Amino acid sequence: MILRSWDRVKPRSISDLACFLLVAVFVPVTYIFHVTIVMPELFAIGGIWYTLLWLASLFVIFNITSNMLACMLVDTSIRKELLKPPLDAAQLARWHSCQDCQTLVPPRSWHCEVCNVCVLKRDHHCRFTCCCIGHHNYRYFFYYLVYMIIGSLAAAIMESIYLWHLHLDIYWRWSTLFTMFAPVVSLMLSPSWESFYLVIYDLTLLGFAISSLLLVFHWSIFKSGSVTRERGTRKYDRGLRGNLEMVLGKRMHLTWLSPFLRSDLPHDGVNWEPIAAFAPKEE
């Protein structure tokens, strides 16, 4: 695993910076809100349920933040590889020239205008991690989405009980509707803890919705062994298990535990060959 230098990790655009800050601020604030405000009203502090949920929330927030950082730090560009074009003419024909990088790049590698580099098995540029998702960091992006969904869903359920059951007398009013649809404006016009809690609730629902949509979208591509640019094709489809292993590595059954758990990928990300059934036939 090769890590990128800081100058290649930091956000390169306003949209990247805004999306990154949204997650970087929202996740810890939501965690603190739950541990200090919500959970003490739902469960007895020190009780079995409080302790179990607190430990579970630590595990989830650890995986959200560490997988997000792994996405940003792990280099999946052509710069991490000493590229040697193959001598075989058939294999070389699948390589293409990148005018921006001024070099030959392997199949399934494409240039990113934001990162200004070609990325091995490039899927897309992720605004929330400020980097491209490709061959070497797709695993971390996948688990980042999974744990964002788990965390935001659990948080939304507990927040709903806190707001609409325990404190219905405070939040059952017309101003709540305005705060839900215009949280920032409402917080600026009428700053209060009640409004701030609604903003957190809004962001929790938004986090769940965005993460779920992204996972649903990418799963349909991911399970066929493709990337976004190859959507609708099955040239590299190795079956569900083979496709999962190509992203999660040889120890894929353990990778959900932590991004620090080593799971070597079965492919170098450079020398791709289409599955025989989909390879172009020779004349």
- Count of CB atoms situated within 10 Å of the CB of 44: 11
Told to judge if 112 belongs to the known catalytic residues of this protein, a careful annotator would answer no
243: Cβ contacts below 8 Å, ≥ 6 apart: 222, 223, 224, 225, 237
The whole-angstrom distance between residue 106's C-alpha and the CA centroid of its chain comes to: 25
Amino acid at 158: M
Query: For residue 235, which of 178, 283, 276 has the smallest C-alpha distance?
Result: 276
Measured distance between the N- and C-terminal CA atoms of the chain, rounded to whole angstroms: 41
65: Cβ contacts below 8 Å, ≥ 6 apart: 27
Which of 115, 126, 130, 131 is labelled catalytic? Answer: 126
Active-site amino acid positions:
126
